[in-house]
Amino acid sequence: MNVAEDALQPALPQPALPQPAPLAEVRRSATAYRVPVYLACSLVFMAVNYALGEDLRWDTLNYHLYAGFSAVHDRFVQDYFAAGPQSYFNPYVYAPFYALISGGLSALAVSSALALAQSSILWLTYELALCVCPSDDRRSRLVTGLCAVALAFLNPILIEQVGSSFADITTAALVVCGWLLLARAVQAPRVGLIVGAGLILGTATALKLTNAVHALAAFALLLLLPRPFIGKLRFGLGYAGALGLGFAIVAGPWAYRLAQRFGNPLFPLLNNVFRSPEFTTEPLRHYRFIPGSLADALWRPFAIADPALMVDVEPIAPDLRYALLLVVCGAVALRWLWRRRERQSLPATAEASTRVLAALGCGLAVDWALWLTASANGRYFLPMAAVTAVVIVGLLAREFGARTRAFTYILAAILGIQAAQLWMVGDYRQTSKPWAGPWLRVAMPERLTTEPNLYLTIGVQTNSFVALYLAKGAGLVNLSGAYAMGSQGGNGARIQALVRRYAPHVRVLVAGQRLYADAERREPLRSEVDDVLERVGLRVDGSDCATITVYGVPPPLEIQFGTTAVSEQQPDDTSQLVTCHTVAADSTGLPARELRQRAVDMVFDRLEDACPQVFQPRRLLTEHFGGRWQRYYGNTDVIAWVSRGDVKFRQLLRGDDVVNLGRESAWEKKPLMLACGEHDRHYFARVLQPKEGP
């Protein structure tokens, strides 16, 4: 029995007894405040959204809009990895965003509708805070709920996503709703609450698989149900069944299509289990924010409080609450020991609220551990950020009372410090612009709207949003990006079939005003585009090119893997894409190219075997791009390449220096020994010199 259960054991109600009348009265009294509180939460979200300006995220153009489009229109026949691997994530959660865009609403109307729906996370936070309030006084309960809502709102990641196309807040609200039902079940167990929680959390997981962490951690709440072990076991089985049912209902239709197409109902995830030939069978795990050591994991609550880049999200997002929760828990533990020694008792209402608070605390601790292991990405922890706010306020209200000066001063200090940090961060819209007109305004050449071409896109930014504006029947293939593909293997068969089906209407699509000659040293270089197209036996037909202009959208961030060219300067509020017709490439140099590729493949394979913890996933396609051979390792954000006889690597996004790993000729002769690994989420590797003989 743990500390929380031991403290609450004398207060457990008998299962057969009805809910105490005072608690029912408290719930009725709280109803009067709900409407104005909910309205205030929604108005705050909409005001913040308006103040921040229109949100034009990299992810929106990369796959959010395309996902909603594909949820409504069947794209399996004409598209292939149109938005990279994200093309095949469950798209239903983005369907409302697509519906708002396609309905012709203004950008402000679309974003305001999203903000209104997202504000429900604060409504649910308020309700969850009422469950942990130890007092039956109406004013105390209102103060506790409002403080929890304010602390939950002062979250830089939450504010950054208000009114955006991200599904994180939307699905986070479902998670908080599921936890709210379980919290009420801890107060007074009922089958309906358990089943409802399972269905909702199963739905949240189906819409966004990262929510599986929160669905699993919710089992910890069931341990504090006021029931004997057999009763808890029955409720746990009921929750598990409802969880699976909710997941199956929502994920089933899309999973069925994926299983038909790829043989993997969760494609591209878990492909190391289902082993579809059309994606890597290596384990996928993004290590960008996962702690590299136990010390790093223990320090993470305090690291998040530091205003620094690349801690739990890419931008600066300082958050004091997790470190504060540890401090408050320590103080409460000392107070609990004192109370246990004095054998003090609590009134019935306080016992019920304390049991809920203990359940939320246990669930949050389990969730934190699972989250750190799975991704440690702060965007995926949004529901637990709201629960953290509730636990902090609940602990302080329990120890000081929601109407005492100490409670008021402590919460005011916490909110003030957190608000000051958020004010200093300042920039919550990296690509924002004033509200004007539709979300996207695309100037498409007329013939591209009537001619159904196959577009082979190049770039980590897939720009798959153009699918909405192309001719009916047009297809998209992201040939080179986060996951490179060629003419060989399972990918090659699909791509070649599409090329033959659309021929001669096959075009290339890449970001830029036009294609440039090497001497111009501006992106995109025609030679680099031809390098990619040569994999499928094509090259650019320079006599037939057209430019697509997207007004109001800044040039998107593009992760460049190997070029020394300079990007074409474009207006801050304009993005352009160039598309050119393709023709068959000259195949006379193909045997020499294939021979050269086999040689560099052997070098990369040996490099991956020498240091699998850095260069993963292994055995990906080797690309020839910008005069060098390269592989991109998505698990670790690392790129390795062979150029001018040297083997080099660099970790992207963190600005690390290029590291030389020796001569290509040395790797061709035999595998070299490496000392490599990770320190503070920076990857290192160096060649070990062989020991000289005596």
Residues with Cβ within 8 Å of 307's Cβ and at least 6 positions away in sequence, in order, are 316, 318, 421, 424, 425
- Tell me what pLDDT residue 251 has: 97
CA dist., res. 103 & res. 106, Å (int): 9
- Tell me what pLDDT residue 8 has: 36
Structure tokens at 469: 């504006």
- Tell me what pLDDT residue 521 has: 83
Rg of the chain, C-alpha, whole Å: 28
By C-alpha distance, which of 172, 161, 69 is closest to 114? 161
- Tell me what pLDDT residue 539 has: 96
Structure tokens at 247: 């997941």
Residues with Cβ within 8 Å of 362's Cβ and at least 6 positions away in sequence, in order, are 2, 4, 220, 221, 223, 224
Residue tagged 């062989």 (tokens):
690
- Tell me what pLDDT residue 5 has: 38
Structural contact between residues 127 and 59, judged by C-beta atoms closer than 8 angstroms: no
Residue tagged 């979250």 (tokens):
155
CA dist., res. 65 & res. 83, Å (int): 10
Structural contact between residues 132 and 184, judged by C-beta atoms closer than 8 angstroms: no
Structural contact between residues 277 and 285, judged by C-beta atoms closer than 8 angstroms: no
Amino acid (one-letter) located at 406: A
Structure tokens at 366: 């389990």
What stretch of H or E contains 540?
A: strand 538-551
For residue 517, the tally of other CB atoms under 10 A from its CB is 11
Assign residue 122 a region (left: φ > 0; alpha: ψ between -120 and 50; beta: otherwise): alpha
- Tell me what pLDDT residue 11 has: 38
By C-alpha distance, which of 145, 122, 121 is closest to 132? 145
CA dist., res. 203 & res. 198, Å (int): 8
Structural contact between residues 628 and 664, judged by C-beta atoms closer than 8 angstroms: no
CA 506 to chain centre: 33
Provide, for the chain, the percentages of residues in helix, strand and coil under a 3-state DSSP scheme, each rounded to the nearest 5: 55, 15, 30
Structure tokens at 452: 């159904």
The ranges of the chain with pLDDT < 70 are 1-32, 339, 341-350, 402, 426, 430-432, 554-572, 690-694
